Amino acid sequence: MSYTYHYASPLGGITLASDGRHLTGLWFDGQKYFSSTLEKTHEPKDLPVFAQAAEWLDLYFSGKDPSFTPPLSLNGTSFQKSVWEILLSIPYGKTMTYKEIAGKIAQKQGLSSMSAQAVGGAVGHNPISLIIPCHRVVGSDGRLTGYAGGTEKKEKLLMMETSRLSF
């Protein structure tokens, strides 16, 4: 059984999903691949993991870098999971390119290179937006390419993060 929770963010509604103990999904309502990992049978329910995720989102949208990650359970291929693990390492207010991520994956797997397009596919299918910060991935030239929630949201998220950093 899957459970859902709705969060009202400054950028629109967000639906969260859980297996009862872990966060399994977080999507802006209506985004591409919306609820892609959500079981067909699910019900709204207040759960401790949703309280943790809502606290994380409250901190994030108030301009703070949350110092914790709610418990996550990721359903994907080993390649996707390796990409999502790298996304989790991108610091608040910073970005990384698809090419840089491809280089890290190639190095980790002992390969000479890796397709940035393959990385893009894994980034685009990230089931836990924001907490796994796929919005922090940009094109090699710094352009804001692709974001399942829409590039306008990606731009707002990055602007919010960088405007709150103190140098």
Enzyme catalytic residues: 134
* Residue among 136, 120, 132, 118 nearest 73 (CA): 132
Q: Which amino acid is at 117?
A: Q
Q: Provide the β-strand partners of residue 128.
A: 26
Alpha-carbon span 20 to 78, nearest angstrom? 23
Distance, in Å, from the CA atom of 75 to the CA atom of 154, rounded to the nearest integer, reads: 23
Could you give the CA distance from residue 34 to residue 28 in angstroms, rounded to a whole number?
7
